[in-house]
Amino acid sequence: MIYSLNGKIIHTDPGFVVIECGGVGYKCMATMNTLRSLPRTGENVMLYTHMLVREDAVELCGFAATAEMNCFKMLMSISGVGAKVALSILSVLTPEQVALAVSMNDSKTLTKAGGVGSKLAQRIILELKDKIKKLGIAEVQTSLEEASSAVPAPSGNISQAVGALAVLGYTPDEVLPFMKGIDPSLPVEKIISDTLRAIGKQ
């Protein structure tokens, strides 16, 4: 399994980038968000990767951040969502926006992506919420609210952010230490973003 690539960009096209590592050019399918974040052709870059193995092909998908890669994997685990649809969703939405849409039952936001109709958007939300329940998010939210009882009303935003981050594959035990010091009155999307940034600096 190839976890990451670190090398020179030798070609980009809508939907993919080619990175040269040790004299070999690796073609990586990528989201528009990742492609927009890349440096110019000829410069070095590091991408996290996920390998897709099918009967007729072996392909790499490249991501600028682990949060995007984790979100891609979660989306791929849903019936009816293949690599093309998952990449399409993450081309128009950030991982934070996907997580927030799922936690708020906002299927309309997911339909902004090509290939995602209303029924598929609802299935994505239903199946990801089921995965969140299996991680025991509800119990963590309750304990968070109890622990934050001394803080004015906005403590619920922290709880919602914990649930949303589960969509990206993070367990409560992984994210809670990085939420210390974050203002609970911030919007949920900002809390998610700040937490992911803190995790990335680890």
According to the model, what pLDDT value does residue 176 have? 87
- The per-residue pLDDT for range 125-148, each reduced to its tens digit, is 998 887 666 555 444 444 444 444
- Distances in Å between the Cα of 179 and the Cα atoms of 13, 95, 128, 161, 193 are 38, 18, 22, 10, 11
Res 19 pLDDT > 90: yes
According to the model, what pLDDT value does residue 167 have? 75
- The domain ranges of the chain are 4-63, 84-134, 137-200
According to the model, what pLDDT value does residue 132 have? 64
Res 149 pLDDT > 60: no
The two beta strands, 58-63 and 24-30, are parallel
Looking at domain 4-63, its CATH architecture is Beta Barrel (2.40)
